[in-house]
Structure 1
Amino acid sequence: MDLQHLLVFVAAGLLLNLAPGPDVVFIVTQSVRGGVRAGIAAAAGITAGCFVHILAAALGLSALVAASATAFTVLKWVGAAYLVWVGLKMLRSRGPAALAQAGEGAASPLALRQVFVQGFGTNVLNPKVALFFLAFLPQFITPAMPHKTLAFLGLGLLFNFNALWVDIGWALAAAWLARRVGAVRRVMGGLERVAGCMFLAFGLKLALTDNPSA
């Protein structure tokens, strides 16, 4: 790939990662609740989940999921159930009281591990992420390119590396606002409720997603 196409790939990836979605909502919510470290743990978990999808897509497993109605349906319902569970957990939180330490990095190591695992789960159980990599990355791999699997892995790793810094940026911005802006911090008390509703919507939307091979 020449430099021009590589820059187009990087720019497109950054724009896609800046768009709000389940991952961004999760990172922002965790940053507000537990500070920068919690937000970075969420971003790291999501990035780890993306690595699984990239490897699966490079090896053809994601194509198999997309082609198999049964495999896609099973993963779809597991992912939808997980997103709904995360949403319900956010709705049942203590609200403003849970945000008293927001932006101060007060999350314990155990809590950070739990955030990482939740971030990993919200990403790796979403078949739409696998389908995204199958649809997006091949556009930048020419038929004449040797070692297409390695090229796929390389582009996937580059995309994920850039996404990690965007996600960390979301975490830093959310924690900074929660800590320094009093009015915003008070409003953040309702953010987890809003995020919970959004995760419920994401889960329902995923449950209603049709198999692309159908």
Structure 2
Amino acid sequence: MIDGSAVLGVFSVYIAGVVIPGPNFVAVAHKAASATRIEALAMVAGIVLVNLFWASCAILGVGIVFAAFPWLALAVKIAGAAYLIWFGGRLIANASASQSTQRVQAPAGGFRQAFAQGFATNIANPKSMAFFAAVFSSAAPPHVNVGTFTAMLGVVFVVASSWYGFVALTLSHTLIASAYRRAKAWIDRVCGGLIVALGVRQLIR
């Protein structure tokens, strides 16, 4: 039997955590406006897969693991922050690179590369780790049956896919993508700066 109250509790905290902008949102928004729609959706798939992983860990007790081994949480936090700083710095460094005025087809491996970028961005995202370890895990009961566990993961899948998919589809619209290309250098600098700031913020907190 599925514990409806537990699933509803997870839904209420998770939807708030997803909608609040963070590195995942910035990465999807940038990919949607700068690449093809299929690449943006591939990035979303990578992010959603990691969210399912973190949610599974949270339900199974990752918060307890990090509490017992604080050095592990610190190591993950530093590694994630370092990746965000590197990723944002690369955006800034490449902000002035030339770009065609017309959208091009995704190169071979574009889908796989975008999926890997989404996966890497989220797995190294300290915000995701902290949210699932602290907030999400507190909303999940200590022990759940298979039905409730599956329903909770279903909530994560639907909410994350819907939100990030909406962002990807909206910002990959032709008019929005064209506007991005006209202001590419400045938008890339802003997106890169935001990601670097998020990484630095995680290091000093």
Residue 122 of structure 2 aligns to a residue whose secondary structure is helix
C-alpha distance in structure 2 between counterparts of 1:57 and 1:142, whole Å: 10
Q: Offset at 1:25? A: 0.4
1:150-182, Cα deviation, whole Å (9 max, x unpaired): 634531331232111110110111111xx2255
1:168 maps to what in 2?
165
What residue number does 1:204 align with? 200
Give the drift of 1:33.
Answer: 1.1
Which structure 2 segments of 5+ residues have no match?
none
Amino acid at match of 2:195: F
Q: Which amino acid aligns with 1:36?
A: R
CA pair 61-18 structure 1, distance change in 2 beyond 3 A: closer
Residue of structure 2 equivalent to 1:119: 118
Structural RMSD (CA):
2.9
Bigger relative contact order, structure 1 or 2 (CA pairs below 8 A, ≥6 apart): 2
SS in 2 for 1:98: coil
Once the two structures are aligned, what percentage of the paired residues are identical? 25
For the residues of structure 2 that align with 1:39 and 1:170, how far apart are their CA atoms? 9
Rounded to whole Å, the distance in 2 between the matches of 1:51 and 1:180 is 33
Quote the residue 2:56 is aligned against: 55
- Alpha-carbon separation, structure 2, partners of 1:112 and 1:140: 35
- Partners of 2:52 and 2:156 within 8 A in 1: no
Distance 1:135 1:73, change over 3 A: closer
Gaps of 5+ in 1: 210-214
1:75 maps to what in 2?
76
Are 1:154 and 2:154 counterparts?
Answer: no
- Summarize the Cα distance change of 1:142–1:62 in structure 2 as closer, same or farther, 3 Å threshold: closer
Instruction: Return the letter of the residue paired with 2:91.
Output: M
Evaluate the alpha carbon distance shift between residue 134 and residue 96 of structure 1 in structure 2; reply closer, same or farther with a 3 A threshold: same
* CA distance 1:134–1:152, shift in 2 (3 Å): farther
Contact 2:99 2:181 in 1 (8 A): no
Counterpart position of 2:29: 28
Deviations 1:95-151 (A, max 9, x none): 47336345x6x22241222221121111112343233124434555467xx635763
SS at match of 1:100: coil
In the superposition, the TM-score normalised over structure 2's length comes to 0.82
CA deviations over 1:28-72 (Å, ceiling 9, x no partner): 101111121121111111111112212222332343124422101
Paired residues, number = 202
- The residue number in structure 2 matching 1:97 is 98
For 1:124, the aligned partner's letter is: I
The answer to whether the 8 A contact 2:80-2:125 is kept is yes
With 58-67 and 81-90 compared, the bigger mean Cα shift is at: 58-67
TM-score (norm 1): 0.79
For 2:131 and 2:93, how far apart are their aligned partners in 1? 32
Partner amino acid for 1:172? L
